[in-house]
Amino acid sequence: MFGIVRPCAHRLTDGLKTEWTAHLCGLCLALRADHGQLSRVVTNYDGLIVSVLTEAQVERTAGQRRTAGPCPLRGMRTAPVARGEGARLAASVSLVLAAAKVRDHVTDGDGLLGRRPLAAAARRVAVGWDRAGARTGAVLGFDTSVLVDAVDRQPGIEALAGPGTSLLTVTEPTETATAAAFAHTAVLAGRPGNREPLAEAGRLFGRLAHLLDAVEDQRADAESGAWNPLTATGTSRAETRRLADDAVRGIRRALREAEFTDARLAHVLLAHELRVSVDRAFGAHGTTHHGHAAHGHDAGAHDVRGQAGQGGSPPPGNPYGGDPRGGNPYAGQGGGGPYGPNNGQGDGNPGVPSGPGGPGGPPPRFGEEPRKPRGFLAGCAVFVGLCCTCKLCCAKEYEGPWSRKKREGCCRDCDCCDCDGCDCCDCGCDC
């Protein structure tokens, strides 16, 4: 389940985690229902945004959810899952783009696909996915050829790119594909006026996805000799960061122009989580090129409250209403929290002593006998449990899986969910 928008559970409050899971499972089950079990491997975090946007533009009805049976990925629990045209469009787009990705790997001879028998089998799978995605797209009125054409143009553009080539020339095919997918959600929702702003949001989302993928892979690509757009065009990371930040602000501006029925989840994913994704790609807990703490949102993510409190209230459920002050609440900078590279946990900070649980751990507890460390397998089992329950992230205190020393959740005191100033949209940001 790849993708750049990977929200942590503690940032999806007030039922938004359930909604997000409903769209993720809805995409997976739509793939199975329309295209068979194998197609479920293309389930991805970014594809579900198509389903989220479609639902955000329509009135909620009982038919938009159904109860799915137990699933191992949900701890063998049932759950409400999204159904309908949004989930099917997300499935169609995911299939076509995954098929293109498979063909690309086959052409490059990556990994096991460098072997002829496996490459031949992968090509057949890709052809099947292309046809299946096109069939579903045709039923929904979406022409998937725009996706295929965009992907087919990518190798030629990369072959011609060199030092001095604009990075945006390389990202253009991805931008075109995602713009088409985002814009069609407006068609499915019966809101033709949203096509243009959502196409712009999709174009910038595709740019951002391409940029962050290039940043995260640059070192590995250099070691393997693979092509990377940043290396090939000679673009610095500072310039790439500027483009990424501009894309995030542009998405927020575009969403303000669209009309939504209930945009809470879409707002959290596209206005807040994208900023977290950028910070993560360029180094979590580092600093942005503006010098602000990377783990915090910029001020534009929080300035929506003032819109509802000073007249010109946005429509219910839509945090992107007009700004009576004439400013752009999505263009702010800063808002970083007090947690920079040395975040008060004792790492390189001589003013904060290290405790028995490692740097920044709690002070020694006198009179307690040190507990015997766990074995490797037992520690692995505990580690899995800590991950699945998000205690590694959010717990006030937990026991180290192997050492059994007391530790604090890495995000417990972070300001990544400090959304003071964003309650007008009731977007679930109050942690």
Among 304, 299, 297, smallest CA distance to 277 is for 297
pLDDT of 419 over the 80 cut: no
Q: Which two tokens stand for residue 291?
A: 């010098």
In whole numbers, what is the pLDDT of the chain averaged over residues?
77
Neighbour count for residue 278 (Cβ, 10 Å): 21
Which of 118-132, 189-203, 243-257, 290-304 shows the lowest per-residue confidence on average (mean pLDDT)? 290-304
- Interval 299-355: pLDDT, tens: 333 333 333 333 444 444 555 544 444 444 444 443 444 334 444 444 444 444 444
Q: Own/partner pairs for 384-390, CB < 8 Å, 24+ apart?
A: 388/75, 390/8, 390/9, 390/10
The Cα–Cα gap between 50 and 113 comes to: 30
- Interval 28-41: pLDDT, tens: 999 999 888 989 99
How many H helices and E strands in the chain?
Answer: 14, 4
Amino acid 118: pLDDT: 86
The Cα–Cα gap between 284 and 286 comes to: 5
pLDDT of 292 over the 70 cut: no
Q: What is the pTM of this model?
A: 0.68
Amino acid 429: pLDDT: 42
- Interval 243-265: pLDDT, tens: 999 999 999 999 999 999 999 99
Q: How confident is the model at residue 382 (pLDDT cuts 50, 70, 90)?
A: confident
Q: How confident is the model at residue 425 (pLDDT cuts 50, 70, 90)?
A: very low
Amino acid 307: pLDDT: 37
Q: Which residues contact 56 (CB under 8 A, 6 or more apart)?
A: 260, 261, 262, 263, 265, 266
Ranked by mean pLDDT, the top range of 222-236, 271-285, 292-306, 324-338 is: 222-236
Q: How confident is the model at residue 144 (pLDDT cuts 50, 70, 90)?
A: very high
Cβ proximity of 111 and 226 under 8 Å: no
Tell me the mean pLDDT in the region 111-139. Answer: 87
Question: For residue 267, what are the CA distances in angstroms to 42, 63, 86, 258, 427?
Answer: 24, 23, 17, 12, 7
Tell me the mean pLDDT in the region 224-253. Answer: 94
Amino acid 231: pLDDT: 95
Q: Which residues contact 293 (CB under 8 A, 6 or more apart)?
A: 285, 287, 336, 337, 338, 339, 340, 415
Cβ proximity of 389 and 376 under 8 Å: no
Tell me the mean pLDDT in the region 16-26. Answer: 93
Cβ proximity of 359 and 341 under 8 Å: no
Q: Which two tokens stand for residue 109?
A: 């001879």
Amino acid 1: pLDDT: 63
Question: For residue 266, what are the CA distances in angstroms to 135, 142, 149, 390?
Answer: 27, 21, 28, 23
Which of 169-183, 197-211, 409-423 shows the lowest per-residue confidence on average (mean pLDDT)? 409-423
pLDDT of 50 over the 80 cut: yes
